[in-house]
Amino acid sequence: MQILSITWKDLKILFKDIGGMATLFLMPMMFIIVMSTALQGMFDSGDTGQPWRLPVVNLDSGDLAAEVIAQLDNMDGIEVETAWEGQTLTRERAEALVTDGERAVAVVFPADFSDRVEERLDDAEARATIELITDPAVSTQFIAPIRGMVLGAAERVAERWLASARLEASLAEVLAHLPRSAQIPLDQMTIEAEETNVVHVEQVAPPGMGIEVFPDSYQQNVPGYTVFGVFFIVATMAESILREKTEGTFRRLLAAPLPRPALLAGKLLPYYLVNLLQVAVMFGVAHFLFGMALRQPAALLVVSLALAAAATGLGVLVATFGKTQTQISGLSVLLTLTMSAVGGCLVPTFVMPDFMQTLARFTPHGWAMQGFQDALVRGYGLAGVWPEAAALLGFAALFFAIGVWRFRFDT
Amino acid sequence: MTENIVEARGLVKRYGELVAVKGIDFNIRQGEIFGFLGPNGAGKTTTISMLSCLLEPTSGSATIDGLDVVRDAAQVKRIIGLVPQEIALYPTLSGRDNLNFFGRIYGLRGRRLRERVDAALEIVGLSERAKDAVQTYSGGMKRRLNLAAGLLHEPKVLFLDEPTVGVDPQSRNHIFENVERLNREGLTILYTTHYMEEAERLCHRVAIMDEGRIIALDTPQNLIKVLGGGVIHVGVQDGLSEEMLSKIRQLSTVKDVAPLDGKLKVETVDAQRALVDIIAIFNQADAAITSLEILEPNLESVFLHLTGKRLRD
């Protein structure tokens, strides 16, 4: 009952602190909304729901560029734009679109595109060039897939045309040596190349992953900024403990018939509960307002429970190192930001160098991210997230052990 | 009022090289207000901390109602109340919420909790402000609520650690009245202060502490009697002749004369009358008085007399 009394008292104090509540709830929510919306194009572009819009300027005097453009337009995830505001796209307009940030990439087929392909019949070194107008600030990782698609489509068209042209030339030569009666007019012979999609690429997941759709922007960002926000509790909790010591309420409580473990437990529980509430609010808003799918809720719950334990454990530990509000605040910010960055909350770990991906495993953030993504994105159930939950509980145990060992009840 | 409810024997508290309490012995009788009077750093708060089981004595022992403060700490905590020197309250919570919380910590529930909270608020005169956040209270009101929180569980012994620091005179008086009323109702109180007028007004007995030791312990009246009618410090130029010293000693208003740091310390029966006589002697001898200081018979003067220091240096 004493633990619950302390918990209830601290929850009342916490919820009266408007600024503190804003930091714990509004700030991570703001990050989630802004970053998910801002990066929606990056995560969601390229599927039929939200295709990449690709401006294309066709200056080709021949027909080959038009064939390439038709192939691009047929691809899933690409929407070719050959006009802008009702007018055929010009090079200048395409450049302006990139400069103004309307589009990241534009494609220009020069006037001699078909001629250059035809030159290949006689000159093995001849090459046709397609220009990709890109903003230098746009990441290579974003440009590379588009470049690949354009090159692939152009290669296919060029090779088919060249193969057809060579075959026609060979046939003409053969026919010229046949008796007149055996000759079949070329115009009665058709070599048709069916425009069929001979090859299809299908994206699949490794065994055991039960995904049906791919992660959207919210499924990537919500776990990241939720974990980021959960660890804000470290500063709040550590400052609260310090305040109780410096303002004398700790002294009064220690003079009461209140066992020290109960005092500590009572101080930890409200922050643990607030952590769980943070996760519930972040995921709830993402689900109900933005339609993020909440897969494997039991697995999500287990990871959340373990995550909150790690965060409150770190709060106890930081409370033992800071002697002033400034020290606690500085130490909390340093730890929270560093571990969030290293752990993949702000930048996905797969884009990091190998050594940093290894470092992520030394942070609770990294394990929490993996756990959430295992459930949300990869569709793992309880059995699949237990390693992450165990790691988080291990961090919690370590933080608590050191924190309790260092904790001074002296006031 | 004869049974001892608090007994301390050879209490010592050491922090590394620093010895904050250097072996003190005292008893507090049931139903009395016992004062610890001394300057900041004398060891008063450390002593209270040991008695209220916040600090373990380095050596020595103390019992409260027969319970050892180390071995029986959990039981001791049930029968003592601590009003710390700090305003140990939660500022964003209301006065009532603060008391409800501390009451629950002491095991009070339901109707009993409500009754005790109402009673405590009534005692300190804060019933009408109970719903307001503590941060809106004046300093004096906070001190009064601080006192109320120590009374909720009806302790046998109440430790008041400098309860009037930073308090306006009206609230201070309110606290004095509360202390006197609680004592009349049977509560034993240990009261620490560096204000001698508080000790003189409230305490049945006073222990004067300095540098971790009790240098005097008695009723305020008996302590003050050491000074007789007061002490006069007379600054003299070029010393005094034996003849003059002898004349001063022979005055009926003077008890004793002794040199003290280049001055003359005169213990009197009646300081005001003695002063007139002393000035007359100096005038007759045409000797110059460079300074005069009269220590009226009070505890501050007693402290100065015993230690050479002021209570509030």
User: Is A257 close to B78, i.e. CB distance below 8 A?
Assistant: yes
User: What's residue A289's pLDDT?
Assistant: 83
Q: Is A15 on the interface with B (CB under 8 A)?
A: no
Cβ of B97 within 8 Å of Cβ of A257? The answer is: no
Answer yes or no: is B308 within a domain: no
* Total of domains in chain B: 2
Chain A, nearest residue to B158 by Cα: A255
How many A-B residue pairs are in contact by the CB < 8 A criterion?
68
For residue A245, the chain B residue with the least C-alpha distance is: B88
Q: Do B50 and B194 fall into the same domain?
A: yes
Quickly count: other Cβ atoms within 10 Å of residue B35's Cβ: 29
User: What's the CATH number where B220 sits?
Assistant: 3.40.50.300
Residue B203 has pLDDT above 60, yes or no: yes
Secondary structure (H, E, C), A130-177? CEEEECCCCCHHHHHHHHHHHHHHHHHHHHHHHHHHHHHHHHHHHHHC
- Poorest-confidence range of A187-191, B154-158, B172-176? A187-191
Q: Do B155 and B96 fall into the same domain?
A: yes
User: Can you tell me whether residue B27 is helix, strand or coil?
Assistant: strand
Mean of pLDDT values over B73-80: 95
Q: Mark yes or no for CB contact A12/B93 under 8 Å.
A: yes
- Whether A411 and chain B come into contact, CB under 8 Å, resolves to yes
Rounded distance between C-alpha atoms, residue B245 and residue B278, angstroms: 10
Q: Hey, are the CB atoms on B77 and A255 less than 8 Å from each other?
A: yes
3-class DSSP state of A17: coil
pLDDT of B285 higher than 90 = no
pLDDT band at B1 (very low <50, low <70, confident <90, very high): very low
Answer yes or no: are the C-beta atoms of A314 and A399 closer than 8 Å: yes
Asked which of B224, B259, B279 is the last residue of a domain, the reply is B224
Does B9 share its domain with B151? Answer: yes
Residue B7 has pLDDT above 70, yes or no: yes
Residues 6+ apart with CB under 8 A from A238: A315, A316, A318, A319, A322, A328, A331, A332
List domains and CATH numbers for chain A: 2-40+216-406 (no CATH), 50-188 (3.40.1710)
Q: Does A145 touch chain B (CB under 8 A)?
A: no
CATH of the domain at B250: 3.30.70.980
Across the interface, of A1, A247, A256, the residue whose CB is closest to B86 is A247
Q: Is A322:A244 a contact under the CB 8 Å cutoff?
A: no
Predicted pLDDT of residue A219:
73
Asked if residue B83 is part of any domain, the answer here is yes
CB-closest option in B53, B78, B82 to A252: B82
Least CB–CB distance from A257: residue in B77, B88, B92: B77
Q: Domain for residue B304, yes or no?
A: no
Residue A291 is predicted with a pLDDT of: 84
Q: Is the pLDDT of residue B2 over 70?
A: no
A249 and B88 within 8 Å at the Cβ level: the answer is yes
Low-confidence residues in chain A, pLDDT < 70: 38-50, 137-141, 179-216, 350, 410-411
The parent domain of residue B164 ranges over: 4-224
Mean pLDDT of chain B: 90
pLDDT for B113 beyond 90: yes
A342 touches chain B (CB under 8 A): no
B227 or A249, greater pLDDT = A249
Name the token pair of B134. 């503590």
Instruction: Answer yes or no: do B193 and B273 share one domain.
Output: no
Percent of chain B residues past pLDDT 90, beyond the cut: 59
Same domain, B177 and B98: yes
Cβ contact (<8 Å) for B74 and A257? yes
B40 with B148, same domain: the answer is: yes
Here the ipTM equals 0.82
B-chain residues near A248 (CB < 8 A)? 84-88
Going through chain B in order, the beta strands assigned E by DSSP cover 4-15, 18-29, 33-37, 59-64, 67-68, 80-83, 157-161, 188-193, 205-210, 213-218, 230-236, 254-260, 263-268, 289-295
